[in-house]
Structure 1
Amino acid sequence: MIVGTAGHIDHGKTALVKALTGTDADRLAEEKARGITIELGFAYADLGGGKVTGFVDVPGHERFVHTMLAGVGGIDLALLVIAADDGIMPQTLEHLAILDLLDVSGAIVALTKSDLVGPERIAAREQEIAALLAPTHFAGAPVIAVSSLSGAGIAELRDALAAAEARVAARARAGRFRMAVDRSFVLGGAGLS
Structure 2
Amino acid sequence: MKRRTFILGGLGALGMMAGGGGLFVNRPEFGRLPQGARLARMEASPHYVNGQFQNLVPVQVMNEESGENRFVAMAKFLFGDKSELSPQEPLLSHKTDLHELDLSRDAAIWMGHSTFFMQLGGRRILIHPWQEPYQRLMQASQGKGYKLLTPEIGEAAYLDGEQPRLFDNWWERMR
Question: What TM-score, normalized by structure 2, do the two folds share?
Answer: 0.25
Q: Relative contact order (C-alpha < 8 Å, sep 6+): which is higher?
A: 1
Max Rg structure = 2
Question: What TM-score, normalized by structure 1, do the two folds share?
Answer: 0.23
Question: Which one has a larger percent strand, Structure 1 or Structure 2?
Answer: 1
